[in-house]
């Protein structure tokens, strides 16, 4: 094939159309300093033993891989239930805005948690609970109520009646049920009254008790907990005094040792540990339940800046990215066809070794550039430049040091 007819995918022998890493699709990969990954995994595995479910967090600036790390955790939880016995649910806390009633308070976060759980999962759990030999004899809602540990009698009764009535069989719309679960305004309250719902969720505590009871249900049915992977939690910095107690108390309850079924891994934007939102870190009663204090907070909230610590880490990160994106066999053939043998390695196409060293040197010089997003963007831009030039001249242009130098002068 002539160079002028090639697309970027063929030119760079990519395994995908564009030079990109997708946090969801590439969740299996984890790049950079393995120590960070190991420390985080160690914390999570310890949490399963000590707290029943993970209760920890990650911290990093934009582009440091918070979302990718959460996706990687989700992948681990889903692919290895024995080591990570918790069903993961991903959610974004942002946008949080107390100027808008619908995007503020614990109810907003609670709604996001329930949306993350979703109807299909809730149905599966209710149906699986119904099939358990030990619960088959009694009435479903009474059996369910026995395993709920949180909230007053009316809340437990209402939740068990509602789940039994709406989520076992698909005979009626679950709209009213979701409105109740999410503490929204209920449009047809009579429907709920008919199935035995006795109270509405008035406080953040009530709402959290619903989530904790769902956690009890999952534990009973699946023998695992549930864990919320909460992204963009820096939005909690917007929590003002009026909502502060409610949200702090909800996180405190999640952190309490008596909750061993509902965990969280919370991801914040920030550079310093001081940037952990006050609503979470002050007073430090939540932190103390996570086994840390202000002085050793990094034991529970891992800082992703450690992902790329040295120039060597950065260079390895580049190699890992290229290794994951390039189809080596295809690259080898292309190198032979175009007479590029000896000039470039298949796993680095279209970059030469010298160019990659230079890119690593330039990116490493400035601290804000030492992050996965900047590195991937730089590689993507440079490979696109080589492709465009190659296409225009109808010959294979390698990204050599001389080629990349003027393009990275502003980094």
| CB nearer to another protein: pick between 98 and 278 | 278
Name the segment binding another protein (CB under 8 A); options: 39-47, 239-247, 265-273, 329-337: 265-273
| Binds another protein by CB under 8 A, chosen from 310, 323, 336, 388 | 310
Q: Which is nearer to another protein, 245 or 273 (CB)?
A: 273
Of 31, 34, 101, 15, nearest to 71 (Cα)?
A: 31
How far lies 379's CA from each of 142, 356, 357, 360, 408, in Å?
59, 9, 12, 10, 10
Q: Are 56 and 300 in contact (CB under 8 A)?
A: yes
Judged by CB under 8 A, which of 9, 244, 282, 309 binds another protein? 309
Question: CA 326 to CA 313: how far, in whole Å?
Answer: 20
**Residues touching another protein: how many (CB under 8 A)?**
24
Min separation Cβ 62 and another protein, Å: 12
CB 93 within 8 A of CB 109: yes
Residue (118 or 368) nearer to another protein, CB? 368
Partners of 388 in the beta sheet?
none
Q: Which of 305, 315, 345, 391 binds another protein (CB under 8 A)?
A: 305
Q: Among 38-46, 193-201, 269-277, 333-341, which window interacts with another protein (CB under 8 A)? A: 269-277
Name which of residues 369 to 388 contact another protein (CB under 8 A): 370
Q: Decide if residue 273 touches another protein (CB under 8 A).
A: yes
What mask of x and - would describe binding to another protein in positions 392 to 411, judged by CB under 8 A?
Answer: -------------xx-xxxx
Give the residue with the Cβ less far from another protein, 99 or 406.
Answer: 406
Q: Is 293 in the site for another protein (CB under 8 A)?
A: no
Token duo for residue 245: 């107690």
| Site map 49..88 versus another protein, x via CB under 8 A | ------------x---------------------------
Helix (H) or strand (E) holding 250: helix 241-255
Give the length of the chain: 411
Instruction: Say which DSSP state 326 is in.
Output: B
* Least spacing, CB of residue 367 vs another protein, in Å: 4
| Candidate ranges 69-77, 138-146, 306-314, 347-355; the one touching another protein (CB under 8 A) | 306-314
Q: Please, which residue, 94 or 362, has the CB nearer to another protein?
A: 362
Binder of another protein out of 10, 174, 200, 275 (CB under 8 A): 275
Among 174, 200, 245, 271, binds another protein (CB under 8 A): 271
Q: Does 274 bind another protein (CB under 8 A)?
A: yes
Q: What would the DSSP string read from start to end of 47-71?
A: HHHHTSS-EEEEEE-TTSSHHHHHH
Distance from the first to the final alpha carbon of the chain: 35
Given the complex with another protein, which of 138 and 368 has the nearer CB atom? Answer: 368
Torsion angles phi and psi, residue 123, rounded to 5: -60, -45
Q: 45 CB contacts (<8 Å, ≥6 apart)?
A: 83, 84
Q: Is 241 in the site for another protein (CB under 8 A)?
A: no
- Map residue 332 onto helix, strand or coil: helix
**Out of 92, 123, 149, 311, the residue judged to bind another protein by CB under 8 A:** 311
Q: Closest separation between CB of residue 241 and another protein, Å?
A: 15
Minimum distance from residue 293 beta carbon to another protein (Å) = 12
Closer of 342 and 406 to another protein (Cβ): 406
Query: Residue 291 is encoded by which pair of tokens?
Result: 């086994």
User: Of 17, 4, 65, nearest to 37 (Cα)?
Assistant: 65
Sole residue written with tokens 């840390």? 292
Residues in region 344-363 near another protein by CB under 8 A: 361-362
Question: Among 48, 167, 280, 364, which residue sits at the site for another protein (rule: CB under 8 A)?
Answer: 364
Question: Are the beta carbons of 195 and 174 closer than 8 angstroms?
Answer: no
Strands 55-60 and 86-92: unpaired
Distances 340 to 214, 337, 397 between C-alpha atoms, Å = 60, 8, 10
One DSSP character per residue, 153-217 reads HHHHHHHHHHHHHHHSS-SS--HHHHHHHTTPPPS-HHHHHHTT------SHHHHHHHHHHHHHH
Nearer to another protein among residue 310 and residue 341 (C-beta):
310
Site residues for another protein per CB under 8 A: 61, 271-275, 305, 309-311, 361-362, 364-368, 370, 405-406, 408-411
């Amino acid at each position: 094939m002539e160079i002028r007819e090639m697309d970027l995918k063929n030119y760079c022998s990519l395994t995908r159309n564009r030079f990109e890493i997708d946090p969801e699709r590439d969740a299996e990969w984890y790049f950079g300093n393995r120590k960070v990954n190991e420390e985080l995994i160690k914390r999570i595995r310890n949490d399963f033993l000590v707290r029943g479910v993970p209760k920890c967090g990650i911290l990093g600036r934009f582009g440091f891989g918070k979302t990718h790390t959460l996706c990687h955790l989700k992948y681990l939880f889903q692919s290895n239930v024995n080591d990570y016995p918790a069903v993961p649910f991903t959610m974004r806390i942002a946008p949080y805005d107390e100027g808008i009633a619908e995007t503020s308070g614990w109810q907003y976060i609670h709604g996001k948690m329930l949306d993350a759980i979703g109807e299909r999962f809730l149905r599966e759990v209710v149906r699986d609970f119904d099939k358990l030999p030990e619960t088959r004899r009694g009435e479903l809602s009474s059996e369910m109520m026995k395993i709920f540990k949180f909230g007053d009698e009316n809340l437990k009764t209402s939740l068990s009646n509602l789940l039994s009535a709406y989520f076992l069989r698909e005979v009626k719309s679950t709209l009213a049920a979701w409105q109740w679960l999410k503490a929204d305004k209920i449009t047809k309250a009579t429907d709920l009254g008919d199935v035995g719902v006795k109270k509405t969720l008035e406080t953040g505590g009530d709402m959290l008790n619903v989530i904790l009871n769902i956690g009890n249900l999952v534990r009973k049915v699946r023998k695992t907990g549930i864990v919320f992977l909460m992204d963009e939690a820096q939005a909690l910095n917007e929590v003002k005094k009026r909502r502060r107690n409610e949200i702090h108390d909800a996180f405190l309850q999640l952190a309490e040792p008596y909750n061993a079924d509902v965990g969280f891994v919370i991801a914040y934007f920030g550079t310093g540990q001081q940037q952990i939102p006050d609503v979470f870190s002050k007073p430090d009663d939540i932190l103390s339940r996570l086994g840390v204090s202000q002085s050793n907070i990094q034991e529970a909230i891992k800082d992703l800046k450690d992902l790329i610590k040295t120039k060597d880490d950065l260079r390895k990160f580049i190699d890992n990215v290229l290794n994951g994106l390039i189809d080596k066999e295809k690259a080898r053939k292309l190198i032979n066809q175009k007479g590029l043998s000896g000039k470039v390695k298949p796993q680095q196409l279209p970059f030469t070794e010298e160019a990659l060293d230079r890119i690593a040197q330039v990116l490493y010089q400035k601290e804000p550039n030492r992050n996965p997003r900047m590195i991937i963007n730089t590689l993507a831009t440079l490979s696109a430049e080589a492709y465009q030039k190659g296409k225009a001249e109808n010959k294979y242009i390698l990204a050599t040091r001389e080629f990349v130098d003027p393009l990275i002068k502003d980094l």
